[in-house]
Amino acid sequence: MILAIESSCDETAVAIIRREGQTAELLTSLISSQIEIHRQYGGVVPEVACRNHAQRIRPLVQQALDDAGVSLDNIAAFAATRGPGLASSLLVGLAYAKGLAVASDKPFFGINHMEGHLLSPFLKEGTIPPHLSLIVSGGHTMLISVQAHGQYQLIGRTIDDAGGEAFDKVGRMLKLPYPGGPEIEKHAREGNPKSFIFPRAHLKDAPFDFSFSGLKTAVLYQLQKLDDPQAHLADLCASFQDAVIDALVKKTIKAALQTGHTLIALSGGVACNRALQEALTCAAQNAGMKVQPTPPALTTDNAGMIALAALLASENRPSDSLEIGIDPNLVLATP
Protein backbone atom coordinates (compact mmCIF):
# COMPACT_ATOMS: atom_id res chain seq x y z
CA MET A 1 0.00 0.00 0.00
CA ILE A 2 1.51 3.34 -1.09
CA LEU A 3 0.55 6.92 -0.22
CA ALA A 4 1.46 9.44 -2.92
CA ILE A 5 1.46 13.24 -3.04
CA GLU A 6 1.25 15.46 -6.14
CA SER A 7 2.03 19.19 -5.90
CA SER A 8 3.81 20.07 -9.14
CA CYS A 9 1.68 23.10 -9.98
CA ASP A 10 -1.54 24.38 -8.41
CA GLU A 11 -3.33 21.18 -7.42
CA THR A 12 -2.68 19.64 -4.00
CA ALA A 13 -3.44 15.93 -4.33
CA VAL A 14 -3.10 12.79 -2.22
CA ALA A 15 -3.87 9.17 -3.16
CA ILE A 16 -3.49 5.72 -1.67
CA ILE A 17 -3.08 2.65 -3.87
CA ARG A 18 -2.49 -1.05 -3.31
CA ARG A 19 -1.85 -4.09 -5.44
CA GLU A 20 -4.89 -6.33 -5.59
CA GLY A 21 -3.87 -9.55 -7.33
CA GLN A 22 -2.72 -8.62 -10.81
CA THR A 23 -4.50 -5.26 -10.79
CA ALA A 24 -4.00 -1.99 -8.95
CA GLU A 25 -6.72 -0.66 -6.66
CA LEU A 26 -6.95 3.06 -5.98
CA LEU A 27 -8.39 3.28 -2.47
CA THR A 28 -8.76 7.05 -2.53
CA SER A 29 -7.66 9.98 -4.69
CA LEU A 30 -8.26 13.50 -3.41
CA ILE A 31 -7.60 16.83 -5.14
CA SER A 32 -7.72 20.27 -3.57
CA SER A 33 -8.04 22.63 -6.52
CA GLN A 34 -6.75 26.20 -6.60
CA ILE A 35 -8.43 27.16 -9.88
CA GLU A 36 -10.74 29.73 -8.30
CA ILE A 37 -7.79 31.36 -6.50
CA HIS A 38 -5.65 31.72 -9.62
CA ARG A 39 -8.52 32.61 -11.96
CA GLN A 40 -8.42 36.23 -10.82
CA TYR A 41 -4.80 36.41 -12.03
CA GLY A 42 -5.48 34.71 -15.37
CA GLY A 43 -2.95 31.96 -14.61
CA VAL A 44 -0.96 30.25 -11.87
CA VAL A 45 1.02 32.47 -9.48
CA PRO A 46 3.84 30.26 -8.06
CA GLU A 47 4.06 31.99 -4.66
CA VAL A 48 0.31 31.73 -4.13
CA ALA A 49 0.29 28.07 -5.21
CA CYS A 50 3.14 27.21 -2.81
CA ARG A 51 1.44 28.87 0.15
CA ASN A 52 -1.81 27.05 -0.48
CA HIS A 53 -0.04 23.70 -0.85
CA ALA A 54 1.54 24.21 2.57
CA GLN A 55 -1.83 25.00 4.12
CA ARG A 56 -3.74 22.14 2.54
CA ILE A 57 -1.38 19.19 2.44
CA ARG A 58 -1.59 17.97 6.06
CA PRO A 59 -5.42 17.87 6.33
CA LEU A 60 -5.62 16.30 2.87
CA VAL A 61 -3.26 13.47 3.86
CA GLN A 62 -5.33 12.82 6.97
CA GLN A 63 -8.56 12.85 4.94
CA ALA A 64 -7.07 10.34 2.48
CA LEU A 65 -6.13 8.00 5.33
CA ASP A 66 -9.60 8.34 6.84
CA ASP A 67 -11.36 7.76 3.52
CA ALA A 68 -9.28 4.64 2.85
CA GLY A 69 -9.84 3.38 6.39
CA VAL A 70 -6.13 2.94 7.05
CA SER A 71 -3.43 4.47 9.26
CA LEU A 72 0.17 5.45 8.54
CA ASP A 73 1.20 2.06 9.99
CA ASN A 74 -0.58 0.37 7.05
CA ILE A 75 1.38 2.32 4.44
CA ALA A 76 4.33 0.39 3.02
CA ALA A 77 5.95 3.30 1.16
CA PHE A 78 5.53 7.00 0.44
CA ALA A 79 5.93 8.86 -2.84
CA ALA A 80 5.79 12.37 -4.25
CA THR A 81 6.30 14.17 -7.52
CA ARG A 82 9.87 15.49 -7.84
CA GLY A 83 9.51 17.12 -11.27
CA PRO A 84 8.92 18.59 -13.70
CA GLY A 85 6.91 21.50 -12.34
CA LEU A 86 7.11 24.70 -10.29
CA ALA A 87 10.05 24.48 -7.88
CA SER A 88 8.25 26.07 -4.94
CA SER A 89 5.24 23.78 -5.35
CA LEU A 90 7.31 20.62 -5.82
CA LEU A 91 9.23 21.33 -2.62
CA VAL A 92 6.09 21.24 -0.48
CA GLY A 93 4.90 17.79 -1.56
CA LEU A 94 8.36 16.22 -1.71
CA ALA A 95 9.35 17.46 1.75
CA TYR A 96 6.09 16.32 3.31
CA ALA A 97 6.29 12.82 1.80
CA LYS A 98 9.93 12.50 2.87
CA GLY A 99 8.92 13.51 6.37
CA LEU A 100 6.30 10.80 6.49
CA ALA A 101 8.82 8.25 5.22
CA VAL A 102 11.38 9.23 7.85
CA ALA A 103 8.85 9.25 10.69
CA SER A 104 7.51 5.84 9.65
CA ASP A 105 10.89 4.36 8.67
CA LYS A 106 9.40 3.39 5.29
CA PRO A 107 10.77 3.59 1.71
CA PHE A 108 10.38 6.75 -0.37
CA PHE A 109 9.96 7.13 -4.16
CA GLY A 110 10.46 10.34 -6.11
CA ILE A 111 8.22 10.23 -9.19
CA ASN A 112 8.38 11.92 -12.59
CA HIS A 113 5.14 13.81 -13.10
CA MET A 114 5.09 12.99 -16.82
CA GLU A 115 5.57 9.28 -16.12
CA GLY A 116 2.46 9.54 -13.97
CA HIS A 117 0.53 10.90 -16.95
CA LEU A 118 2.03 8.27 -19.25
CA LEU A 119 0.99 5.37 -16.99
CA SER A 120 -2.44 6.73 -15.98
CA PRO A 121 -4.48 5.09 -18.79
CA PHE A 122 -3.49 1.67 -17.40
CA LEU A 123 -4.33 2.08 -13.73
CA LYS A 124 -7.07 -0.56 -13.74
CA GLU A 125 -4.85 -3.08 -15.52
CA GLY A 126 -1.90 -2.44 -13.23
CA THR A 127 0.52 -3.43 -16.01
CA ILE A 128 1.93 -1.48 -18.95
CA PRO A 129 1.68 -3.03 -22.45
CA PRO A 130 3.69 -1.83 -25.46
CA HIS A 131 2.05 1.29 -26.90
CA LEU A 132 2.49 4.80 -28.26
CA SER A 133 1.71 7.45 -25.68
CA LEU A 134 0.35 10.89 -26.55
CA ILE A 135 0.63 13.19 -23.54
CA VAL A 136 -1.06 16.59 -23.90
CA SER A 137 -1.04 18.83 -20.85
CA GLY A 138 -0.64 22.47 -19.88
CA GLY A 139 3.14 22.21 -19.83
CA HIS A 140 3.97 19.36 -22.20
CA THR A 141 3.01 17.72 -25.48
CA MET A 142 4.91 14.51 -26.21
CA LEU A 143 4.82 11.33 -28.24
CA ILE A 144 6.59 8.44 -26.48
CA SER A 145 7.13 4.89 -27.65
CA VAL A 146 6.65 2.56 -24.66
CA GLN A 147 7.83 -1.03 -24.60
CA ALA A 148 7.21 -1.67 -20.90
CA HIS A 149 7.39 0.13 -17.58
CA GLY A 150 10.57 2.21 -17.56
CA GLN A 151 11.34 1.59 -21.24
CA TYR A 152 10.47 4.90 -22.93
CA GLN A 153 11.70 6.49 -26.15
CA LEU A 154 10.82 10.08 -27.00
CA ILE A 155 9.43 10.26 -30.55
CA GLY A 156 8.24 13.87 -30.67
CA ARG A 157 7.55 16.89 -28.48
CA THR A 158 6.51 20.51 -28.68
CA ILE A 159 9.25 22.97 -29.59
CA ASP A 160 7.36 25.91 -28.08
CA ASP A 161 3.90 26.06 -26.51
CA ALA A 162 2.34 22.87 -25.18
CA GLY A 163 -1.17 21.97 -26.32
CA GLY A 164 -2.83 22.95 -23.06
CA GLU A 165 -0.75 26.11 -22.86
CA ALA A 166 -1.95 27.13 -26.33
CA PHE A 167 -5.56 26.59 -25.25
CA ASP A 168 -5.05 28.78 -22.17
CA LYS A 169 -3.29 31.58 -24.06
CA VAL A 170 -5.88 31.69 -26.82
CA GLY A 171 -8.56 31.58 -24.14
CA ARG A 172 -7.10 34.78 -22.68
CA MET A 173 -7.10 36.37 -26.15
CA LEU A 174 -10.78 35.53 -26.43
CA LYS A 175 -11.43 36.96 -22.94
CA LEU A 176 -12.54 33.57 -21.59
CA PRO A 177 -12.16 32.55 -17.93
CA TYR A 178 -9.08 30.61 -16.81
CA PRO A 179 -8.39 27.79 -17.57
CA GLY A 180 -9.07 28.36 -21.25
CA GLY A 181 -9.16 24.75 -22.45
CA PRO A 182 -12.58 23.73 -21.09
CA GLU A 183 -14.05 27.11 -22.06
CA ILE A 184 -12.84 26.84 -25.66
CA GLU A 185 -14.15 23.28 -25.90
CA LYS A 186 -17.55 24.41 -24.61
CA HIS A 187 -17.91 27.25 -27.13
CA ALA A 188 -16.45 25.14 -29.96
CA ARG A 189 -19.46 22.81 -29.79
CA GLU A 190 -21.62 25.62 -31.18
CA GLY A 191 -19.15 26.74 -33.85
CA ASN A 192 -18.06 25.82 -37.35
CA PRO A 193 -14.46 24.50 -37.38
CA LYS A 194 -14.09 25.54 -41.02
CA SER A 195 -15.02 29.20 -40.47
CA PHE A 196 -11.39 30.26 -40.11
CA ILE A 197 -8.41 28.51 -41.67
CA PHE A 198 -5.63 28.41 -39.11
CA PRO A 199 -2.16 26.93 -39.84
CA ARG A 200 -0.82 23.50 -38.92
CA ALA A 201 2.93 23.52 -38.37
CA HIS A 202 4.93 21.04 -40.43
CA LEU A 203 8.52 20.72 -39.22
CA LYS A 204 10.56 19.28 -42.08
CA ASP A 205 13.45 17.88 -40.05
CA ALA A 206 11.30 16.80 -37.09
CA PRO A 207 8.06 15.31 -38.46
CA PHE A 208 6.76 14.20 -35.04
CA ASP A 209 7.48 17.44 -33.17
CA PHE A 210 4.71 19.93 -32.45
CA SER A 211 4.59 23.73 -32.68
CA PHE A 212 1.61 25.83 -31.62
CA SER A 213 3.14 29.31 -31.35
CA GLY A 214 2.38 30.10 -35.01
CA LEU A 215 -1.21 28.99 -34.55
CA LYS A 216 -1.52 31.22 -31.49
CA THR A 217 -0.17 34.19 -33.49
CA ALA A 218 -2.56 33.44 -36.35
CA VAL A 219 -5.50 33.64 -33.95
CA LEU A 220 -4.21 37.00 -32.67
CA TYR A 221 -3.96 38.39 -36.21
CA GLN A 222 -7.45 37.13 -37.02
CA LEU A 223 -8.87 38.85 -33.95
CA GLN A 224 -7.31 42.14 -35.06
CA LYS A 225 -9.16 41.87 -38.36
CA LEU A 226 -12.58 41.43 -36.77
CA ASP A 227 -14.71 44.39 -35.70
CA ASP A 228 -16.43 42.30 -33.02
CA PRO A 229 -14.52 39.10 -32.18
CA GLN A 230 -17.10 38.10 -29.56
CA ALA A 231 -19.70 37.81 -32.32
CA HIS A 232 -17.55 35.06 -33.86
CA LEU A 233 -16.53 33.43 -30.56
CA ALA A 234 -17.95 29.96 -31.24
CA ASP A 235 -16.44 29.78 -34.74
CA LEU A 236 -13.07 31.05 -33.52
CA CYS A 237 -13.00 28.43 -30.76
CA ALA A 238 -14.06 25.64 -33.11
CA SER A 239 -11.50 26.60 -35.77
CA PHE A 240 -8.64 26.93 -33.29
CA GLN A 241 -9.52 23.65 -31.56
CA ASP A 242 -9.75 21.90 -34.93
CA ALA A 243 -6.24 23.05 -35.85
CA VAL A 244 -4.76 21.75 -32.59
CA ILE A 245 -6.56 18.42 -32.80
CA ASP A 246 -5.69 17.95 -36.47
CA ALA A 247 -1.97 18.33 -35.71
CA LEU A 248 -2.12 16.04 -32.68
CA VAL A 249 -4.04 13.27 -34.43
CA LYS A 250 -2.12 13.20 -37.72
CA LYS A 251 1.30 13.13 -36.08
CA THR A 252 0.20 10.50 -33.55
CA ILE A 253 -1.11 8.12 -36.21
CA LYS A 254 2.00 8.62 -38.33
CA ALA A 255 4.23 7.94 -35.30
CA ALA A 256 2.28 4.80 -34.40
CA LEU A 257 2.66 3.50 -37.94
CA GLN A 258 6.40 4.16 -37.93
CA THR A 259 6.98 2.53 -34.51
CA GLY A 260 4.70 -0.42 -35.24
CA HIS A 261 2.38 0.18 -32.27
CA THR A 262 -1.28 -0.74 -32.62
CA LEU A 263 -2.25 0.68 -29.21
CA ILE A 264 -2.31 4.43 -28.54
CA ALA A 265 -2.68 5.83 -25.02
CA LEU A 266 -4.03 9.36 -24.54
CA SER A 267 -3.24 11.20 -21.30
CA GLY A 268 -2.72 14.64 -19.77
CA GLY A 269 -5.15 17.45 -19.00
CA VAL A 270 -6.17 17.97 -22.64
CA ALA A 271 -7.01 14.25 -22.89
CA CYS A 272 -10.42 15.03 -21.41
CA ASN A 273 -11.28 17.07 -24.53
CA ARG A 274 -14.12 15.10 -26.10
CA ALA A 275 -13.42 16.29 -29.64
CA LEU A 276 -9.80 15.12 -29.37
CA GLN A 277 -10.86 11.73 -28.03
CA GLU A 278 -13.35 11.23 -30.86
CA ALA A 279 -10.99 12.38 -33.62
CA LEU A 280 -8.11 10.22 -32.39
CA THR A 281 -10.35 7.18 -31.88
CA CYS A 282 -11.80 7.51 -35.39
CA ALA A 283 -8.38 7.95 -37.02
CA ALA A 284 -6.96 5.03 -35.05
CA GLN A 285 -9.82 2.73 -36.03
CA ASN A 286 -9.32 3.63 -39.70
CA ALA A 287 -5.66 2.67 -39.31
CA GLY A 288 -6.44 -0.61 -37.52
CA MET A 289 -5.40 0.67 -34.11
CA LYS A 290 -6.99 1.05 -30.69
CA VAL A 291 -7.03 4.05 -28.35
CA GLN A 292 -6.76 3.67 -24.57
CA PRO A 293 -8.02 6.91 -22.98
CA THR A 294 -7.25 7.99 -19.44
CA PRO A 295 -10.14 7.78 -16.94
CA PRO A 296 -11.53 11.34 -16.61
CA ALA A 297 -10.57 11.63 -12.93
CA LEU A 298 -6.92 10.97 -13.82
CA THR A 299 -6.51 13.37 -16.76
CA THR A 300 -5.69 16.54 -14.84
CA ASP A 301 -2.92 16.70 -12.23
CA ASN A 302 -3.72 14.12 -9.55
CA ALA A 303 -1.99 11.84 -7.07
CA GLY A 304 -3.63 8.67 -8.36
CA MET A 305 -1.28 8.59 -11.33
CA ILE A 306 1.70 9.31 -9.05
CA ALA A 307 0.61 6.45 -6.79
CA LEU A 308 0.45 4.06 -9.76
CA ALA A 309 3.91 5.13 -10.93
CA ALA A 310 5.24 4.60 -7.40
CA LEU A 311 3.59 1.19 -7.12
CA LEU A 312 5.21 0.03 -10.37
CA ALA A 313 8.51 1.60 -9.34
CA SER A 314 8.43 -0.30 -6.04
CA GLU A 315 8.06 -3.54 -8.01
CA ASN A 316 10.81 -2.77 -10.51
CA ARG A 317 13.56 -0.77 -8.80
CA PRO A 318 15.05 0.13 -5.40
CA SER A 319 13.56 2.99 -3.41
CA ASP A 320 15.11 6.45 -3.63
CA SER A 321 17.52 8.03 -1.20
CA LEU A 322 15.99 10.67 1.06
CA GLU A 323 18.69 12.98 -0.27
CA ILE A 324 16.97 13.07 -3.66
CA GLY A 325 15.73 16.56 -4.49
CA ILE A 326 13.29 18.24 -6.82
CA ASP A 327 14.05 18.75 -10.50
CA PRO A 328 11.75 21.35 -12.12
CA ASN A 329 13.06 20.32 -15.56
CA LEU A 330 13.08 16.56 -15.05
CA VAL A 331 13.13 14.64 -18.33
CA LEU A 332 11.08 11.49 -18.89
CA ALA A 333 12.63 10.07 -22.04
CA THR A 334 15.33 10.93 -24.55
CA PRO A 335 15.30 10.46 -28.34
Q: Domain ranges in the chain?
A: 2-122+300-316, 131-294
Contact 219, 240 (CB under 8 A): yes
Please tell me if the domain spanning 2-122+300-316 has the same topology as the one spanning 131-294.
Answer: yes
- Provide the pLDDT for residue 335: 74
pLDDT in tens, the chain (335 residues): 999 999 999 999 999 999 988 889 999 999 999 988 998 888 899 999 999 999 999 999 999 999 999 999 999 999 999 999 999 999 999 999 999 999 999 999 999 999 999 999 999 899 999 999 999 998 899 999 999 999 999 999 999 999 999 999 999 999 999 999 999 999 999 999 999 999 998 888 899 999 999 999 999 999 999 999 999 999 999 999 999 999 999 999 999 999 999 999 999 999 999 999 999 999 999 999 999 999 999 999 999 999 999 999 999 999 999 999 999 999 998 77
- Provide the pLDDT for residue 311: 98
- Provide the pLDDT for residue 173: 96
Contact 1, 292 (CB under 8 A): no
Q: What is the DSSP letter of 319?
A: P
DSSP for 140-190 reads -EEEEEEEETTEEEEEEEBSSS-HHHHHHHHHHHTTPPSSHHHHHHHHHTT
Helix residue ranges, H only, the chain: 35-39, 46-68, 87-104, 113-119, 163-173, 180-188, 213-225, 233-259, 274-286, 303-316
CA angle 249, 253, 255 (to 5 degrees): 115
CATH of domain 131-294: 3.30.420.40
Q: What is the pTM of this model?
A: 0.95
- Provide the pLDDT for residue 92: 98
Q: What is the DSSP letter of 69?
A: T
Give the SS3 label for residue 268.
coil
Residue closest to 182 by CA, chosen among 243, 271, 63: 271
Q: How do strand 263-267 and strand 151-157 relate by DSSP bridges? A: unpaired
Distance (Å, whole) CA 148 – CA 37: 39
What class has domain 2-122+300-316? alpha beta
- Provide the pLDDT for residue 333: 80
